[in-house]
Amino acid sequence: MSRWSYSSLLRSKRLDPTHRAKVIRDADPALVRRIQSVVRFAVPWRDTIAVISGGNDELLDLEDRPAWHFPAAPGGLHSEHQPSDSAEAIAHLESLRTKGARFLLVPKTEFWWLDHYGDFQRHLESNYRIAARTDDCIIVALRWPSDADFRNTGAPDGLPLPPPELIRLTVANEDSEQFCRSGASGAEWIEALLRQHSFDISSVGPILDFGCGCGRVVRHWKQLDGVRIVGADYNPYLVDWCRVHLPFAEFQRTPLAPTLNLDDESFGLVYAISVLTHLDEEYHAACMAELSRILRRGGLLLLTVHTSMRLERMTPSERALFDAGKIVVRRAQQSGSNACTTFHPEPYVRNVLAKELELRDFVFGGAPDVQQDCVLFQKPA
């Protein structure tokens, strides 16, 4: 059976075109929310998505990701005209792709397309790649080729490269060479900062990469023989990719207010690169408490923050708050994604984040790979 067949997903009566009007009228809000959640984790922010929507405008509400009806009438409205055959469906999809659609979203209510337009399904399967597949939807990456190209293409470190959309979810671009360079740079400055404080990365103890993404930095610890390496992230697709392709380390998913399946005082080094910079303030205390819990006495916690970097991006009102020592958060409702941007004034870092820990170092511009400042805490012995 084709991996594109909807029958294995629905396990229920076929949903054929004659039932479409009723399905649209009775669209399940819970289904829409679940699809929105899949999109949030699988599709980079601001990427354009063509949606086989069946005329349901709610399916186009995808958190600042431009979404287009498919099929679309002139002006972008949903077209009541269904393609007469696969050739017409393919031509319409390719026209939207040429205009900038990077993904195709097929909701559960429209899985019938993949059987009804058999050559359309084969066109997708031959030329593109499934980015996400659940019982509720299939998301197809339209800019990039099949999975095999990524399984068989290694990076300079000999490890597989993540698919471009996962790289974009992690670093907001799809340049695999930059992904590798920045990850190596990140690992190097972590090692250098530890040496400055008389710690060695190979003997500091178990290491946690909190907010590991698709392994940008953690992949560079493969050479640390005998050291326990753990990665944790909010995004299940990033975690799943790491589990399969970076087997030298352990990976787990955690909610935004983290609950890690790790023992108390079990890690010598915890680092969170560009994590608090994408979280609303309500999650900061929970992160600090959980990361402090698993840190050994004498262990190190390394964070990156926006304190001196990228301040030129602030509006005058934001800068006034920042200069008054107040944290500034943009798009707080999108915490956990690159859409949310958080700025941390120095007094906030020193007086709020460091409550239970000792502040060892505050290096402005000290995280060049992410253009952020870095802060090194130590848990009292």
pLDDT value at 364 more than 70: yes
Q: Could you tell me if residue 277 is inside a domain? A: yes
The answer to whether the CB of 130 falls within 8 A of the CB of 76 is no
- Report yes or no on 93 lying in a domain: yes
Query: Residues 211, 355: one domain?
Result: yes
Residues 253, 109, single domain; the answer is no
Cis peptide before 71 (omega within 30 of 0): yes
Lowest mean pLDDT among 62-66, 269-273, 277-281: 62-66
- pLDDT tens string 84-120: 999 999 999 999 999 999 999 999 999 999 999 999 9
Pair 45, 38: CB distance under 8 Å: no
Instruction: Give yes or no for residue 14 having a pLDDT over 50.
Output: no
Residues 54 and 191 in one domain: no
Q: What is the CATH number of the domain that holds 65?
A: 3.40.50
Note the pLDDT of residue 154.
Answer: 66
Residue 373 φ/ψ region, left for φ over 0, alpha for ψ in the -120 to 50 degree band, beta for the rest: beta
Work out the number of other CB atoms within 10 angstroms of the CB of residue 316.
6
Residue 150 in this model has a pLDDT that exceeds 50: no
Residues 188 and 282 occupy one common structural domain: yes
The secondary structure of 14-41 as a DSSP string is ---GGGHHHHHHT--HHHHHHHHHHHHH
pLDDT beyond 60 at 2: no
pLDDT tens across 207-228, in order?
Answer: 999 999 999 999 999 999 999 9
Question: What are φ and ψ of residue 290, in 5° steps?
Answer: -70, -40
Site of tokens 């023989």: 225
Is 233 a member of any domain?
A: yes
Q: Which residues contact 44 (CB under 8 A, 6 or more apart)?
A: 165, 168, 169, 172, 338
Write down which residue in 108, 143, 178 finishes a domain: 143
Number of domains present in the structure of the chain: 2
Residue 136 lies in a domain: yes
Same-domain status, 82 and 181: no
**Which pLDDT value is given to residue 106?**
97
Q: Look at residue 111 and give its three-state secondary structure.
A: coil
Q: Of 191, 187, 221, give the one whose Cα is nearest residue 206.
A: 221
Its pTM stands at: 0.88
Within-domain flag for 154: no
| Domain, as residue range, for 318 | 164-378
Query: Are both 223 and 368 inside the same structural domain?
Result: yes
For the segment 278-300, the average pLDDT, to the nearest whole number, is 96
pLDDT of residue 366: 86
Question: Do 179 and 52 belong together in one domain?
Answer: no
